Amino acid sequence: MDAFAEYRRWLENVKEVGLLEDLKGIEGNDEEIRGRFSQHLSFGTAGMRGILAAGTDRMNIYSVGRATQGLADYINEVFGGGSVAVSYDSRIMSEEFARETASILAANGIKAYIYSRLMPVPMLSYAVRYLKCQAGVMITASHNPSQYNGYKVYGSDGCQMTDDDANAVLRRIEKHDYFSGIKNADFDKAVADGLIEYIGKKVCESYYSDLMTCRVNPEIPLRKNNISVVYTPLNGAGNEPVRRVLEMCGYTKVTVVPEQEMPDGNFPTCPYPNPETEEARKLGLELCSQVKPDIFIATDPDADRVGVAFPEKDGSFRSLTGNEAGILMLDYVLRGASENGTLPENAVAVRSIVSSSMADEIAANYGVEMRVVLTGFKYIGEQILLLEQAGEQDRFVFGFEESCGYLGGSFVRDKDGVYASMILCELTSYYKSKKTTPLEVLDSLYEKYGFYRHKVANIAFPGADGSAEMKAVTERLRKDPPRELAGFRVTETDDIMKHEHTAEDGTVTHIDLPTSDVLLYTLENGAKVIVRPSGTEPKMKLYISAKEDSAEKSDALAEELESSIRAAAGL
């Protein structure tokens, strides 16, 4: 693509005043023009995500329109028409992008169901299935910084689109120009004509009702042993649904972080609204020092992820990693179901490949099958679909990934921060009634199963050459694979891109997993190191897993492993 020719074309065709001023503002800035116009914003199984600005490699009303026209073509050609559910979070331009999406779908003869106000990812996934739609669109950039927005596409099963379907949509997107050939309808007229319909209260109430069935110990005398909660929606879409569900469960002592309560796409108190980070939790934890709650929870802008912290005996708060929260919830769900006699026969739990293998030991302790899938919650949702197709969806009990994503029940097929908030509060209340705390329970699990420690390192690759630089790192590792890390022999290497498992003696066997640019090294001491370029951000992730006979030894080994894999990868 000729970046400068495309820039001039946008100058001639863009009508929106804000975008036109943005274009004029970069005139003469060759580096910025190349960065914005050298390629199209990528579209894959996570849809597309980018910085809000004018340009082919940016999120704007034109990139949304082009993507939606391609999606409409796909639905009409593959399904002969149908319907799409649309939702959006609090990000800048989210509502405008959602309305544009609905209008273009309507103009193409496709019924668009849209929430009348911002709603989180799980409620979009739920609506797709409830309304029997052919697809869903969630306008969100998840936990990215405030200057980002995105367009996440779901299939009829409520999962993010598979590789094949996403590629089929992409082929149709690529046929369209940004400024011509995109059908559009007046939003209000399409509502009046019935081509756009607001998703009503009935859908929301059905979601809440189904969520109540996921409680493990609903009979706990919650009001007698009521816990105190500090919650922050991080200025996102979780505020209403999370508080509603906690109220339904009987948790009345909920204090919301005031600065982060109302929707605000600028995220003024946490520019990077990721509940995994201490920066995003800072204000909430400061409030905890005053309120002294039993639990602190934070949901990201589209409320699919949850961060959690619990009080230590000295009054300070300890934030859990995504793995620790997943382990705590998994054990609570399986323990409670076993005690209550509600654990299904041949129960199934699912974790991502980069999540803690401690979960495997916990599942085995309760006689539960643990399935391990690639990173990306769509693969967890896919396992539920496989069970559903066999008429066995009730076997699914819990799924999680280390990046603070959790799911229970089979009615949602993506991360559900509302569900996770409910279960985290329930287990806190349950353990309080047993005169113990979640942290004491977590420590007892480490004593029982071993001191697993997990470390995630994020390495940024900014700029137009970032993708090529990341690719060079994995190619370097494939060409010259490490034979030892931190002084321990590499005994097994899994290359998911090549579908190859290589043993220490050189024996190669096939890996039956979808293609993904992932390298996994297993060491002689059981430690694991995973190298994976992010699919949604310009960064590479290193996942380190260590298990020793003390927390201190495990932490030290994790640090050594990170240094060693960085050296091997030339980072």
d(CA 122, CA 377): 12
User: Which is nearest to 195 in space by CA: 203, 185, 209, 205?
Assistant: 185
Alpha-carbon distance of 300 to 389, in angstroms, equals: 32
Only one residue has tokens 């071993």, namely 450
Integer Cα distance of 85 and 70 in angstroms: 16
Contact assessment for residue 178 and residue 65, using Cβ atoms and an 8 Å cutoff: yes
CA distance 527 to 538: 27
- Asked about 142 being catalytic, the answer comes back as yes
Those residues with Cβ within 8 angstroms of residue 382's Cβ, 6 or more apart along the chain or in another chain: 159, 162, 373
State how far the Cα of 191 lies from the Cα of 187, in Å rounded to an integer.
Answer: 6
Cβ neighbour number for residue 458 with a 10 Å cutoff:
10
Closest C-alpha among 525, 540, 454 to residue 484: 525
Among the options 83, 103, 142, 357, which is catalytic? 142
**Whose CA is closest to 552, among 453, 441, 456, 455?**
453
CA distance readout (Å), 159 to 45, 117, 362: 10, 22, 27
Q: Which two tokens stand for residue 426?
A: 């329930």
Pairing of strands 484-485, 488-495: antiparallel
3-class SS of residue 98 = helix
CA dist., res. 411 & res. 356, Å (int): 25
Q: What are the tokens at 217?
A: 């110990």
CA distance linking residue 278 with residue 239, whole number of Å: 20
**Angle at 244 (CA atoms; ends 377, 327), nearest 5 degrees:** 40
Contacts 24+ apart (CB under 8 A), 253-256: 253/226, 253/227, 253/228, 253/229, 253/293, 254/229, 254/230, 255/228, 255/229, 255/230, 255/231, 255/287, 255/291, 255/293, 256/230, 256/231, 256/232
- The span from the CA of 287 to the CA of 290, in Å, is 5
What is the C-alpha to C-alpha distance for residues 339 and 554, in angstroms, rounded to an integer? 32
d(CA 237, CA 262): 9
Q: Rounded to whole angstroms, how far apart are CA atoms 551 and 447?
A: 10
Determine the length of the chain. 571
Query: Catalytic residue positions?
Result: 142
